[in-house]
Structure 1
Amino acid sequence: MRATAIGLLTFFSMFLAVTGAQSAERWAELPAFPPMPVPKTSGMADVNDIRMYYAEYGEGEPMLFIHGGLGNAEVWGHQIAEFAKDHLVIVVDSRGHGRSTRSRQPFGYDLMTSDYAALLDHLKISKVTLVGWSDGGIIGIDMAMKYPEKLTRVIAQAANVTTDGVKPDVLRNKTFKDYITVAGEQYRKLSPTPHEYKAFFDQISVMWATQPNWTAADLGKITVPVTLAIGDHDEAVKLDHTEMMAKQIPGAKLVILKEASHFAMLQDPDGYDAMIREAMAGR
């Protein structure tokens, strides 16, 4: 009887250790993109030299969510479900991503920022809270410098402002490689040019290798409230780079997302949504 009890205790301890390790390592996994709610409206907008997909959900103060490089609007399913309760939520596929088309122009952050500014004009939306992830966060910071009148605030997760803010081994990281694979599958499903993912990836990679390159003086001119978030296990962006950004952008707030990586909106949607709510409340 005593041996059985000891055996059960040992098994239970091992079970707790294993499950504890699994929960502690959610940052090492890439969860599936969540199901997308049905939009109130959606369409293709003629913007600059492309056609840009957008979808709108809910009603209230406008929020614009911008996805990261290679991805598409469907990464934001959890956030749409939360914020469409009390806001007008707009999600978009960036130039060449998802359902949006691309042109012969080389990819660049200034160009994509101008796409989003033109889209807001097309939708007749004067001002938004911009939530950007990775490349979307970079676009948000770019918009804060170039189109501050269109922004209530910027919440940028896993953004960098110089190329040396990116970890040199990111493309060898398993979770990030999984994301590249998933992004390719979604590209083939959604894109008007479904067989051109490699060419698209190569073009985006050129942008990543050369942009952005903003200075402390550039960042010091930002007048829009900015929250900078980064996962404590981010595979792509250096923590000290994000800390530097928070010092150089006037009044910026830095938030470290616990047990989360570059893909925090999928790994911890409740915590991610709470971070956005707090930023919007000015906390």
Structure 2
Amino acid sequence: MVALTTERPQGDARAAFELASADDSIGEEASAAPLYEAAMRLGLEPSLRRQASIQLASTLRNLGRADEGLALLHAERLQASDDLDDALAVFESLLLADLGREREGLSRALGAMAGHLPRYRRSVTNYAKALLTTAVGFSDDDLFLFARDGAPELPDTTDRGHITHDGARIWYASHGTGPAVVLLHGGLGHAGNWGYQVPALLAAGYRTVAIDSRGHGRSTRDDRPYSYELMAGDVLAVLDHLSIDRAAFVGWSDGACIALVLADMAPERATGVMFFACNVDDTGTLPFVGTPVIDRCFSRHGKDYAALSATPDDFGPFVEAVGAMQRSQPNYGAADLATLSRPFTIVQAEFEEFIRPEHARYLTATIPSAKLVTLPGVSHFAPLQRPATFNAAVLEFLKAQN
């Protein structure tokens, strides 16, 4: 092999890769690793780069450097998909197991296997996602898994369906018993985006009510423009249908706007509001800057809309209609905020893409009985990125309400 590689130009990436592979095959991982790294640094051709990444990650695992191998494959799976996707997932699962993240590793392996099991693809995919709801240390910071698979499905319940209210059919799902927690999703999403939160809340003894906002998910709408007031009215109608007098509201992005309106228009129905990643006026938002994470979330929203909506071909008009609401609402001034009587927990992510951090501080200073919580290491999509971090904040908020 050395003789053959000498026929290639000095500093040739392919030669370094072949030498690394040869050393790897005879158990010389210590010499193989730097050769793989050199091959990739020298500009290995795309058709071999993913192969080199997988082999280097495996080599690093054998050298006791599983964390480095996992980081390498994590970056690699964000690249273009190819016929080595499943191999990459299998080696990721081994590295995760070595790092004590067995459930996450098993989930990766099952997810790769599902595509080869047409009869059982859906059930195996769901099992893979369900494992993540209790996986220690699980993260999906880049939303790769969310874009590919969506959030874990909500648990089964017989207490789900539609109510008819104010020109729309509103879908809800109620789980468990105990103090009620209403989960209000973000714009363009749906109740299923809380798939990592519902099991954690049920385990802690709460009753959850997840609602598809008007025009989102399985809920319909009429011809009126979207408004947070209309959506808040829908939430109250669901609570009336379920005979729930009071609840804690956990709102994410647009869902936080709905929770704000609920606490204003019907404070007697709210034990408190967790207000995550939202503004109350047009000074609270950052200039929009697209990112791959935002693109992946948007892509998943489009797929879910097509799968769930009564108007599956209208995602474009839906996006524009929701955007028109977001650009013009809400409009709460300082005097309005000062009248809010329910406890608020204002939650801001460390890497929030849409809401100014000073806006969160302003809300905390202006709303009576408000406190500020900052979530480290996550962005606007924290409930999906690091569920354990977000769930801990939710449970701390609920503890204070009860």
Q: Does 1:125 align with 2:244?
A: yes
Work out which structure has the larger RCO, using CA pairs closer than 8 Å and 6 or more positions apart in sequence.
Answer: 1
CA distance in 2, matches of 1:180, 1:111: 24
Compare CA radii of gyration and give the structure with the larger one. 2
1:278 aligns with 2:362: no
Q: Give 1:77's aligned amino acid.
A: G
**Structure 2 segments unaligned to the other structure (5+ residues):** 1-27, 35-59, 75-136
How much identity, in percent, do the aligned residues show? 33
2:361 aligned with 1:243? yes
Residue 161 of structure 1, CA deviation: 0.5
| SS of residue paired to 2:360 | helix
Instruction: Using the TM superposition, name which of 113-122 and 179-188 deviates more.
Output: 113-122
Within a 5 Å distance, the mapping from 1:224-263 to structure 2 comes to: 224-263=342-381
Distance 1:187 1:26 in 2: 21
What SS does structure 1 have at the residue aligned with 2:342? coil
Separation in structure 1 between the aligned mates of residue 327 and residue 386 of structure 2, nearest angstrom? 29
Deviations 1:100-135 (A, max 9, x none): 001111001112112112221222211001111100
> Which residue identity lines up with residue 291 of structure 2 in the other structure?
N
Q: CA RMSD in A?
A: 2.4
Looking at structure 1, the residues matched to 361 and 216 of structure 2 have their Cα atoms a distance apart, in angstroms, of: 29
Aligned residues of 1:40 and 1:58 also touching (Cα < 8 A): no
Describe the shift of the 1:194–1:203 C-alpha distance in structure 2 as closer, same or farther (beyond 3 A).
Answer: same
2:29 and 2:191 map into 1 onto residues whose CA distance is 52
Shift of residue 27 of structure 1?
3.7
Aligned with residue 179 of structure 1, among 291, 297, 304? 297
Q: What corresponds to 1:201 in structure 2?
A: 319
Amino acid at match of 1:183: H
Match of 2:173, SS?
A: strand
1:58-117 CA-partner distances (Å, limit 9, x unpaired): 111111000000000001111111112311111010000000001111001112112112
Q: Residues of 1 paired with 2:215 and 2:29: CA distance?
A: 61
Question: Are 2:156 and 1:29 equivalent residues in the alignment?
Answer: no
CA contact (8 A) 1:48 1:118 kept: no
Aligned 1:202-217 pairs, distance under 5 A: 202-217=320-335
Structure 1 contact 30–266 (Cα < 8 Å) conserved: no
Q: Residue 160 of structure 2 aligns with which residue? A: 42
8 Å CA contact 1:226–1:252 kept in 2: the answer is: yes
Relative to the length of structure 2, the TM-score reads 0.65
Residue number in structure 2 paired with 1:112: 231
Task: State whether residues 57 and 84 of structure 1, in contact with CA within 8 Å, keep that contact through their aligned partners in structure 2.
Answer: yes
Aligned with 1:98 (options 196, 217, 220): 217
Residue aligned with 2:195, SS:
helix
31-40 or 86-95: bigger deviation: 31-40
Structure 1 runs of 4+ with >2 Å offset? 4-23, 25-31
The match for 1:140 is 259
What is the CA distance between 1:216 and its match in structure 2? Answer: 0.6
Matches of 1:212 and 1:94, distance apart in 2: 16
Counterpart residue type for residue 203 of structure 1 = A
CA distance in 2, matches of 1:227, 1:262: 16
Count of residues in correspondence between the two structures: 279
Aligned to 1:162: 281
CA distance in 2, matches of 1:258, 1:20: 19
SS in 2 for 1:281: helix
Distance 2:348 2:310 in 1: 32
| Secondary structure of residue in 1 paired with 2:216 | coil
More strand by proportion, 1 or 2? 1
User: Residues of 1 paired with 2:245 and 2:153: CA distance?
Assistant: 29
The answer as to whether partners of 2:254 and 2:278 remain within 8 angstroms in 1 is yes
Deviation, structure 1 residue 173: 2.5
> For residues 91 and 48 of structure 1, what CA distance do their matches in structure 2 show?
19
TM-score normalised per structure 1: 0.91
